[in-house]
Structure formats: C-alpha cells, structure tokens
C-alpha cells in the first residue's frame, strides 16, 4: 500500500488531479468531505464549533452556516482571524477519521494507492510535529501561478479577489511546499496538461504500493 498526501493551495487544481487519480484506480479520500461529515448536527465537532463560535453559525435548518463560519474564521471585515481555533476543533477529528478510512481500505486491498486530498497537509499543527511525515509515504503538490489561482477561486465561489488573497496569505508558500514534496504537478495550462502529468506519475505510485 501507499499513503499519498495530495495538496495544493486555493485554486491550484488539486481536486481536478484527485479526480483523475481516482479514475485511474486510486482510492481517494477528500479531507473536505470528511470534515463536512463531521460537522453535521449530532456530531461532536458540530457541537464544539457552535459552543466556540456561537449560534450565529447555525443556519435556519439547524445545519452549520458554512459561509458565516468562514467569515468569522478568516477574519473577514478586519476582525481577528480565528482559523486556528476552528482548525483545533476540526483537524484532529478529521485526521483520525482519515486514518480509520485508510486502515479499512488497506485491509481490503493491501496494494492500494490511497490518496488523501487536503489543502492543509503541511499547514495543520495537529497530528504531531511534522505529522505529515508519519501520515504519508509520498507527498504530491499541485501548484499554479498566483493570478490563475485567484481567478479560479473567484470564479468558483463568487468571492472577491481580496478574500482570495486573505486566505492564500494563511497558507504556506508553494516554494516551501515544493521543497518538501516528492512530486510537483504544475497546473498552468489546460486540464489535459494536468491530466498528462497525473498519467505519467500513476505507474510510479502503483509500483511503489506493491509489497509495502
């Protein structure tokens, strides 16, 4: 088996790469999807978020108002950022659930390539000192020029350029990430260009997974 962390900053294209890896046969776990499942009413993470951030982050239907929570967490409007407070609630539970899922996959398929798609492989302070070294056998970084990343984020979310830059400022620089990654995919062209890089890397990951 091979445990792979697939990361990239806002608007980098990591989700597109993850989808292609899944089509090739990788077992892909989305950290965002795991986190969202743990933030549903009735979950401990949901209760802790409401206790720390107030009832204002709960929508009329009883679920989390993710937009309202993001505004508070990222300090929109000049308020102090509370993203680390939110991460301290969400990340440990998310990482624990990811590891449960990985163990289940490996039990059923010992030669699987398991890819965890997460924007915060390096950024999270949870999971121990440099926890990513323990959690993953390989790290893949998807990177793209800053202006392209901003344009993609604004187009996808209808957020402002200022909001995109504010969020990017809270992520580690891509050059540092590249120096600590095993593979770097550059997403500065077409989707086909990115897919070609995924296809080129896939056989190496499959081979590395055998007999580990």
Binning pLDDT at 50, 70 and 90, where does residue 130 land?
Answer: low
Q: For residue 183, give Cα distances in angstroms to 57, 91, 108.
A: 38, 24, 27
Give the tens place of pLDDT for each residue, 171-195.
Answer: 888 999 999 999 999 999 999 999 9
Average pLDDT for the chain? 91
| Average pLDDT of span 28-43 | 96
- The CATH code of the domain at 2-209 is 3.40.50.300
Give the tens place of pLDDT for each residue, 74-84.
Answer: 887 778 889 88
For residue 31, count CB atoms less than 10 angstroms from its CB and return exposed for 0-12, middle for 13-18, buried for 19 or more: buried
Structure tokens at 47: 């209760």
| Average pLDDT of span 110-137 | 85
- Domain ranges, ordered by start, for the chain: 2-209
pTM score, two decimals? 0.86
Lowest-confidence range among 115-119, 199-203, 208-212? 208-212
Instruction: Find out whether 180 and 122 touch, Cβ atoms under 8 Å.
Output: yes
Count of beta carbons in the 10 Å neighbourhood of residue 191? 12
Tell me, rounded to whole angstroms, the distance of Cα 170 from its chain centroid: 14
């Amino acid at each position: 088996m091979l445990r792979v962390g697939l990361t990239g900053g806002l608007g980098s294209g990591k989700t597109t790469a993850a989808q292609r890896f899944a089509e090739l046969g990788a077992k892909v776990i989305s950290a965002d999807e795991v986190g969202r499942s743990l933030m549903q009413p009735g979950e401990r993470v949901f209760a802790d978020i409401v206790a720390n951030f107030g009832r204002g982050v709960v929508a009329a239907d009883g679920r989390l108002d993710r937009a309202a929570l993001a505004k508070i967490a990222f300090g929109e409007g000049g308020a102090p950022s509370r993203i680390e407070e939110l991460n301290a609630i969400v990340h440990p539970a998310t990482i624990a659930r990811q590891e449960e899922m990985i163990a289940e996959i490996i039990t059923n398929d010992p030669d699987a390539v398991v890819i965890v798609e997460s924007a915060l492989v390096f950024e999270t302070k949870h999971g121990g000192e440099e926890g990513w070294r323990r959690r993953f056998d390989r790290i893949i970084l998807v990177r793209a020029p800053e202006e392209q990343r901003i344009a993609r984020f604004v187009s996808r979310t209808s957020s402002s350029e200022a909001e995109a830059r504010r969020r990017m400022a809270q992520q580690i620089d891509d050059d540092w990430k590249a120096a600590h990654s095993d593979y770097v995919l550059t997403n500065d062209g077409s989707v086909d260009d990115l897919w070609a890089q995924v296809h080129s890397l896939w056989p190496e990951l499959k081979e590395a997974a055998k007999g580990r």
